Structure 1
């Protein structure tokens, strides 16, 4: 359906404006609303600027392979071969208050959907009972000063509105899609929680390794400064050499509090993710205990639309907006309501319960909107604009998903390259340290030369630690970016079936 040109707004509109618009819609054969199909999105041959390689470089003896076309791994955190990590993720998924709140909100939305379907598509039946004592003005002409009487009545009333033009069905379909949206958002929240727990655990392990190495560097620097202090007292070194050594030791020591603060903050955050208080944060895990997955699935771009909960949520929002356009259009069409009542009534209890007190009523009403101050047309235009916004949001969500995957693939490739270089540097520096230490034992070099070579080794090791942590974290992020295989999510989306329960 082509979008109509913007309508000019008048201070006073003709009474038959809505009816005229209705005739135009009928004459043009226009559908009540868009079909809700996702818009055409790019289908790139690969995610990034250049095609991703089949595997990364071999860093620390491990080359990760990109399995293009493979299905995502539902419980991807198990690929790190860490039972302790698996236990933390399962604990968080079971105990997170945020996830529990989202789950209850989803269940509430499903119950509201059931209630709306039942009230809109099934007849309503109500039992009504009244007992009144009334006084009415008298009739002086007839010599009656006042009228006082009792009124007893009891009846069952049935009402049913025919959904001829589908307004109720479309409203139900819109709400069902909104429930689907919440279901996909809940699944996205579950996956984000698992990813945040893994990222926190890996980040803490990386910081813990950095802290240990930095502490060793501080100890070496302090020992070097103490040695120079003694040599300065003997006049073997200058005062400048001593000050430089002391400044170097102090600068290294200044790095420790920042690392320790980062680790403490991440431990507190991890405890909250697990549903614990910060004082109950779990113990740190060793960075060396994590196995780097060698096979990483890479879903093809066309299939990513079916595996990412955020894209599915955007699709559900688009379907809901489409149904809301149809519902806003159907409001301009006639509606028919039937009602019937059966009961007993009278001015005294014996009469109300006798045969002469039988009451019944049956009726039908037809309502055709004619003039609502332009509200119905404005509501439909607003619904169309909301649909267009949902359409654009869907396209943006798809593009953002492609970018997310492209960034993760590039990060893994570059992490491997950086770790390979840093690992080679650390391995070479360790070789120098081992050689210098051996020469010291033979008396060929002084001990401060051993300290200097160890400093070089530890500094090179810090870079290797950071890049190893980044490689593990970016691997987890890529697993997360791939989504979940269709039908493998823990939360099924609500059915869009709008038939009565």
Structure 2
């Protein structure tokens, strides 16, 4: 209520000031790039399919919105639980939230510059002084209320009490818009931190999903390898018995042993990669490596989203947190040019002091004890060897830098989406081919084993077929995981749907494109301005 009262009382003055001249460029959000797209020609609308888990066809739906919790498209309770834990526990989220609060509090602090500042002082002083400084005057003394003196042939000591109350008010009108540009810069900085928080959230959730899928990939590859090692070991046992009976040569047994050893040699790298992936997943969850409880997902049980929403190119720049962060930095650089320009112009300061002085507290508020002082000051830099000019030139160069960085961020955003779309298209084709390759390799191994049993081929042929099947199965599992990982990458590239999330960071500071609306006193200022407009 006090804030509303303060706003109403000072709205007329602030409206007049804010309607004045604010030097420097007025920021306008960049438009979406004309003619920008994700591919040359018409993109593929439906991917290929394969008869295996995670092999379904996916349909790309342009213009559809992205759900706020996009990872739920995989229909995995375990993934949702991991993401929720990461968001609640990871320190990067807490750090980004604190940075946002800091930026917003800085803005509110600088908004106070629109108001006068007042200092109240109350003091009581007991003073003793000598009349020697007056050339020996006052050698005959007298006493009065609030003072004492003693007489002698020499200087007299004078003792008195002075009560003083004072109110000092200072106000610097924002004649050339320095304050409003400063607050504008603060608002843009707060918007930057807001979108940095969204970018941190998006990166963390995507990393958790990708890490969980990668962990499942390595687990599946380890399982495939162990199953094949067991099959090879079983075949080795059979060969060993046949060798003892003289039915096969020692060379065949040794070759099978080599195959078993080669397959076993592929396990440690896979186990190493999985262990490191688990450590990374624990870090995303805010845990230490020894806090791993073994939570994992199974690719075979994941749901591959059938319909994939694709944002229109014109909407991408309003959705990507990194693009919006770059836009906020561009806005801040623009406002800083205005601040530097205003620093080169004179500054008007209004001051006033009022209060009372008395030797007795009971007389402090009598009319004759009142004192006051009113002053106005206009100051400007007369000579600074070009310091302010070059500071403004530096801010202009920073603005050009921010413009270039914004364009680069937009280009990277479109590149990310284009790469994800290409990956989804070719992932489907790769999985289809890998499924066919695995089926052919399995059939080849069966034929080779049958031919070897009939004595119509050599055992190295069987070994080659077995090694081909191992590689085919590992590649097939990897192709399965790629479809899920690149689906997550597409959701991240499109912005992750943070604008649809229920717990989306509340925008306590509205869009920076309308500076006046960001001030707590906005409603009162606008009402006063509208009233003045109607009066004219």
TM-score when scaled to structure 1?
0.84
- 2:141 aligns to what? none
Q: Is the 8 A contact 1:139 1:146 kept in 2?
A: no
- 2:89 aligns to what? 95
Q: Give 1:153 shift.
A: 2.3
Deviates more, 1:221-230 or 1:128-137: 128-137
> Pairwise mapping of residues 316-327 of structure 1 onto structure 2 (< 5 A)?
316-327=328-339
Matched, 1:199 2:210: yes
Q: Give 1:472 shift.
A: 0.7
> Pairwise mapping of residues 384-399 of structure 1 onto structure 2 (< 5 A)?
384-399=396-411
1:162 is paired with a residue of what secondary structure? coil
Q: Give 1:341 shift.
A: 2.1
1:68-127 per-residue CA deviation (whole Å, 9 max, x = no partner) reads 222223221111111221222122222322212211221122122111112x11111222
1:310 & 1:365 partners in 2: Cα distance? 45
Deviates more, 1:418-427 or 1:222-231: 222-231
- 2:166 aligns to what? 155
- 1:81 aligns to what? 75
2:472 & 2:318 partners in 1: Cα distance? 44
Q: Determine which of 260, 274, 279 is the counterpart of 2:285.
A: 274
1:373-393 per-residue CA deviation (whole Å, 9 max, x = no partner) reads 322111111111111111001
Q: Give 1:158 shift.
A: 1.5
Deviates more, 1:128-137 or 1:288-297: 128-137
Matched, 1:125 2:118: yes
1:468 is paired with a residue of what secondary structure? helix
Q: Give 1:500 shift.
A: 4.7
In the superposition, relative to structure 1, how do residues 147 and 409 fare at CA in structure 2: closer, same or farther (>3 Å)? Answer: farther
Q: Determine which of 358, 361, 377 is the counterpart of 2:389.
A: 377
Q: Give 1:324 shift.
A: 0.9
1:8-50 per-residue CA deviation (whole Å, 9 max, x = no partner) reads xxxxxxxxxxxxxxxxxxxxxx983233334566434531345
Q: Determine which of 486, 491, 494 is the counterpart of 2:505.
A: 491
Q: Is the 8 A contact 1:318 1:394 kept in 2?
A: yes
Matched, 1:116 2:110: yes
In the superposition, relative to structure 1, how do residues 430 and 124 fare at CA in structure 2: closer, same or farther (>3 Å)? Answer: same
2:61 & 2:84 partners in 1: Cα distance? 27
Q: Is the 8 A contact 2:61 2:310 kept in 1?
A: yes
1:443-494 per-residue CA deviation (whole Å, 9 max, x = no partner) reads 9999x99998776544422111000101110011001111155843512443
1:139 is paired with a residue of what secondary structure? helix
Q: Is the 8 A contact 1:220 1:451 kept in 2?
A: no
1:403 & 1:279 partners in 2: Cα distance? 39
Q: Determine which of 225, 237, 255 is the counterpart of 1:214.
A: 225
1:37 & 1:317 partners in 2: Cα distance? 13
- 2:524 aligns to what? none
Deviates more, 1:193-202 or 1:145-154: 145-154
- 2:183 aligns to what? 172
1:307 is paired with a residue of what secondary structure? coil
> Pairwise mapping of residues 399-414 of structure 1 onto structure 2 (< 5 A)?
399-414=411-426
1:435 & 1:389 partners in 2: Cα distance? 66
Q: Indicate the structure (1 or 2) with the bigger Cα radius of gyration.
A: 2
Q: Is the 8 A contact 1:169 1:498 kept in 2?
A: no
2:495 & 2:309 partners in 1: Cα distance? 10
> Pairwise mapping of residues 4-43 of structure 1 onto structure 2 (< 5 A)?
32-39=23-30, 42-43=33-34
Q: Give 1:356 shift.
A: 4.7
1:277-327 per-residue CA deviation (whole Å, 9 max, x = no partner) reads 333334111111111111112222221111111111111111111111111
1:144 & 1:217 partners in 2: Cα distance? 115
1:123-166 per-residue CA deviation (whole Å, 9 max, x = no partner) reads 11222233445677952733648877655422222211101111
* C-alpha RMSD of matched pairs (Å): 3.2
- 2:193 aligns to what? 182
1:397 & 1:66 partners in 2: Cα distance? 24
TM-score when scaled to structure 2?
0.78
2:337 & 2:467 partners in 1: Cα distance? 69
- 2:304 aligns to what? 292
- 1:22 aligns to what? none
Q: Give 1:237 shift.
A: 4.4
Gaps of 5+ in 1: 1-29
2:465 & 2:125 partners in 1: Cα distance? 102
1:172 is paired with a residue of what secondary structure? helix
Q: Give 1:408 shift.
A: 0.7
1:93 & 1:79 partners in 2: Cα distance? 18
2:86 & 2:438 partners in 1: Cα distance? 36
Gaps of 5+ in 2: 1-20, 137-153, 522-536
Q: Determine which of 329, 333, 343 is the counterpart of 2:355.
A: 343
1:132 & 1:245 partners in 2: Cα distance? 105
- 2:149 aligns to what? none
Matched, 1:105 2:99: yes
- 2:6 aligns to what? none
Q: How many residues align?
A: 468
In the superposition, relative to structure 1, how do residues 268 and 66 fare at CA in structure 2: closer, same or farther (>3 Å)? Answer: same
2:65 is paired with a residue of what secondary structure? coil
- 2:260 aligns to what? 249
Q: Give 1:231 shift.
A: 4.5
